[in-house]
Structure 1
């Protein structure tokens, strides 16, 4: 069995992963992904298929490089067949990373209700039902975006680094603390509310750069998976390879 090469190009960084079947072999994170990086990685593995997903740019140079590495290359678009069903009324506008994360949740927990929270520049809340249908989701500003908006859209509120303090109080006792608690605990409260609207046995999966920061503030069990999008991309690749 050969290896699958998976690329998740986000807004601020790229994740590259090697899978053998459903099993993760190794992963990397790069601030800037270049064709040379991919060719160096591929030299160490027998790559039989690859998949590319980007939310920030098309990356034609990356796709061209992949075609020189793998016999079969897939690019995640709204036209690519999926192992899940999409209940979105405008599937062509659905973020590719959201599709991949939901596919990853289904690969990890088939037959279960899952709330997927991707806490990055924006926070997305996406729901997968027990028959593998993405029934919809919401998009909200992420931690940094909320703090930046409070500073930019008021005359006196300071810009607070909401990632600098790990012990976030329930109530702020000064202005910076109030912003910190309002921003971070506000998102945690949103997660708790959405979970309360779903079946009791719903699994909550957190991914994205702020997942580790938010998880301790959420009551109940949550699962952090920084490679959920990569796992979803691998499941989509595998699904298309089997067709």
Structure 2
């Protein structure tokens, strides 16, 4: 049984094929429109599919898969999941955060976990040792911080998020870029410090590799965390029909 998982974010869409608990192939689409995504999926061979999207719905996906006899699981607040959810307003919890939490607990059951998803926004989510989503925080991403500094001041320029990030800026551009970048690094370090001695921090999202290199502790890079969670949710709903 081959599963397809689709993690549709604000900027990137990650596709992964799974046999059991391991990915057999992955691909990433950048700023893909609806037609491009449908075309990419149509070229794949799989038996079941799951999607979580924080962007616009993928119009026509369900119909296309139905024609192939494939059911699509669209992750929502009401989808049964194999972890507890202690969020006070579960209907407002981002589906990407739900999937990432399931993926994290699948990788490291019985461990206290911090998930830092560093993308357009940065989310910091905690999973307890019993596999419960305890809660989390949302902060502006690095690009968003730079745009905010330019938008809400008169003197600061618009600075690209890519470029040198010295620990101490030596120009306005590097001061802004480093301030935004190391602000995120400091946040990750702070939330990591709240974990117990056996706790792990997992990094995902487009900025995760660069942030990991700047940390003074060992954080685990998990680029397919959301996809892994979607795969586990597919398996769970297949064996525990509701």
TM-score (structure 1 length as normaliser): 0.93
Q: 1:113 corresponds to which residue?
A: 112
Q: Contact 1:52–1:63 at 8 Å: present in 2 too?
A: no
Corresponding residue pairs, total: 236
TM-score (structure 2 length as normaliser): 0.94
1:99 matched to 2:83: no
Selected match of 1:220 from 211, 217, 221: 217
Selected match of 1:171 from 168, 172, 183: 168
Q: 1:233 corresponds to which residue?
A: 230
Deviation track 1:72-106 (CA, whole Å, cap 9, x = no partner) reads 32110011100111110000000000001111101
1:36 matched to 2:39: yes
> Any residues of structure 2 matched to 1:22-171 within 5 Å, and which?
22-31=21-30, 32=32, 33-42=36-45, 47-165=46-164, 168-171=165-168
- Describe the shift of the 1:70–1:127 C-alpha distance in structure 2 as closer, same or farther (beyond 3 A): farther
Shift of 1:126: 0.3
RMSD: 1.2
Shift of 1:70: 4.9
CA distance in 2 between partners of 1:70 and 1:133 (Å): 34
Match of 1:79, SS state, is coil
Shift of 1:48: 2.3
Shift of 1:236: 0.6
Shift of 1:145: 0.1
Gaps of at least 5 residues in structure 1 are none
CA distance in 2 between partners of 1:134 and 1:193 (Å): 19
CA distance in 1 between partners of 2:184 and 2:25 (Å): 31
